[in-house]
Amino acid sequence: MRPRKALVEQFSTFAQVADDQFQGWRADPRLKLSMVKQLELAASSSLDGLAAEGGVETEQRWALYWYELWQSQPSSVAKAHLFAYLQEPCYWAAREVAQKYVSLHPGQSSGYCTGDYFQMAMAALPDALGQFRPDRSSQVKSFIQIFISSRLKALLRQSKLADFCTPWALLRKTSKRRMGQVLTALGLSLDQQQPYLALLLGFQELYLPVHAGGSARLPKPEGELWQSLAGFYNQRRSSWCSPGAGALDAAQVEDRLIKMAQWVRNYLYPSIDSINRGIAGEEGDVGEIQDRITSANCLFSDGNNPDLLTSLMEIDDHGERQQQLAEMTQVLAQAYGQLDGESQRVLALLYGDRLSQMEVSRRTNLSQATVSRRAGRARGNLQKAMLAWSEQPVNRISDPDKLKSVTNMLEDWLELYLSQSTHD
């Protein structure tokens, strides 16, 4: 993948990925024009940080700028700029997942190529950005890459696990929430979904595995089950469904459940055509935004968050921020050095070589579960060091919810630190 250097290019071109190859950057003329104008405006109003071609820092500030604008004006051109900017993390996540799949399942095809994964990654971008918190995460690109790679893995894992399941098992292993997503994707209104959701919950309560370890291979239920399920449904119908939902007999119930299982399976193997829509270049009013550039300064103003790790992300002073980061890195490097050899090895393979847990398990002769546990505890120890370094008692991070940012930062750091040290 050829790196994009100029700011204009970074915010106005899209990656072309066909099959397993990166083909090149396609410029979007409208976005290009918009970006050029924004840069001119920034230069004339001499906004600190946005004007000059100042490398990574400037690039990130522009990303944040579009991000904030997209938050306040979701339908503006900001989204397209942001999507253009985030092509690399989508591409790298797609490539990583494609390669890991091949390495884990040699000789088996997932049915998708890198290009397909890339489309899925782009489709996941709005969700990923929805989770991004500029004040909590470090770099938007690494956040997006981790999020999307995790999303793609979850998709593949779920469809792989579903392969083990009979239709009846799959229905037991589908949450009400997921069933709702499946039905929504099929175009059913909430009212229309209720009877199906009622049947799903009833089925899960009534059709149970009869021996340990057998829940994936559940056989087709006997006729009696459909009878009881119909009874359950007809009894619950009045409280769960809108008045229009009629009574069902056993055969209708069975019929519906069979369809539902098929729908769930189809949902787990999305066709690329269904994903490939509305990804970039949505219409937005370019002119309107130009007035807003003056508000860019407020992006970088101080929030009043007392948590050090949070305020770390908000430190305006470049030097101070760098120093804090350097200190933290030192503390983490020291804590890493104190981990036992096996934990270090596991972390180095996971984050430095970016191997999957399963690959690490093969290399170390530990089970995958042991690898995950070892790594988890090691990360826990690094977190302890990080929290201790912040010189505030841990409980000063007033909300446990904020620990998520600590976890994110730590994973970023591990990747950076260990990929450097393994490649030195």
Partner 1 sequence: MRAISTEPLLMDASDWLLEIPEDLRQQVWNRSRDQGSPAGCWRSYVNGLAATLLQDLIRLDYGQPAVAWLGQSQQREIFEVVTGSAIALGAHRLIVIPTEALDDDCSVPQEWVDIPSWKGDYYAFVQLSPCESYVRILGYATHRQLKTQGEYDAFDRGYNLSINQLISWDSFEPTYANYSADQTQVAVEPLPELSPAQAESLLQRLGNPAQVMPRLEVPFAQWGALIALPQWRQQLWCDRCGLQPTPSRQAVAAVTKLSSWLQGEIHAAWQGVELLLGPTQFARSNRSPGPDSPDFSRGHSPALEPRSIDGLEVRAVTDSSVGEKISRAKRLELAPEVEVALSVTMVPLESGDHQVMLYLDPLPDFPRLPDDIELHLLSETGEILGQAKAASSETIRMQFRAAAGERFDVSVLCGEASVRESFEI
**At closest approach, how far in Å is the CB of 362 from partner 1?**
9
Among 4, 141, 173, 256, binds partner 1 (CB under 8 A): 173
Q: Assess 153 for contact with partner 1 (CB under 8 A).
A: yes
**At closest approach, how far in Å is the CB of 317 from partner 1?**
29
Three-class secondary structure assignment of the chain: CCCCCCHHHHCCEEEEEECCEEEEEEECHHHHHHHHHHHHHHHHCCCCCCCCCCCHHHHHHHHHHHHHHHHHCCCCCHHHHHHHHCHHHHHHHHHHHHHHHHHHCCCCCCCCCHHHHHHHHHHHHHHHHHHCCCCCCCCHHHHHHHHHHHHHHHHHHHHHHHHHCCHHHHHHCCCHHHHHHHHHHCCCCHHHHHHHHHHHHHHHHHCCCCCCCCCCCCCCCCHHHHHHHHHHHHHHHHHHCCCCCCCCCHHHHHHHHHHHHHHHHHHHCCCHHHHCCCCCCCCCCHHHHHHHHHHHHHHCCCCCCCCHHHHHHHCCCHHHHHHHHHHHHHHHHHHHHCCCHHHHHHHHHHHHCCCCHHHHHHHHCCCHHHHHHHHHHHHHHHHHHHHHHCCCCHHHCCCHHHHHHHHHHHHHHHHHHHHHHHHC
Q: Assess 393 for contact with partner 1 (CB under 8 A).
A: yes
**At closest approach, how far in Å is the CB of 380 from partner 1?**
5
Over the window 67 to 106, marking each residue x when it contacts partner 1 by CB under 8 A and - when it does not, the resulting string is ------------------------------x--xx--xx-
**At closest approach, how far in Å is the CB of 33 from partner 1?**
35
Task: CB nearer to partner 1: give 216 or 275.
Answer: 216
Q: Assess 138 for contact with partner 1 (CB under 8 A).
A: no
The residue range among 10-18, 43-51, 62-70, 142-150 that interacts with partner 1, by the rule CB under 8 A, is 142-150
Among 149, 324, 343, 390, binds partner 1 (CB under 8 A): 149
Among 194, 324, 343, 390, binds partner 1 (CB under 8 A): 194
**At closest approach, how far in Å is the CB of 204 from partner 1?**
8
The residue range among 57-65, 113-121, 254-262, 363-371 that interacts with partner 1, by the rule CB under 8 A, is 363-371
Q: Which positions from 343 through 362 interact with partner 1, judged by CB under 8 A?
A: 350-351, 354, 356-358
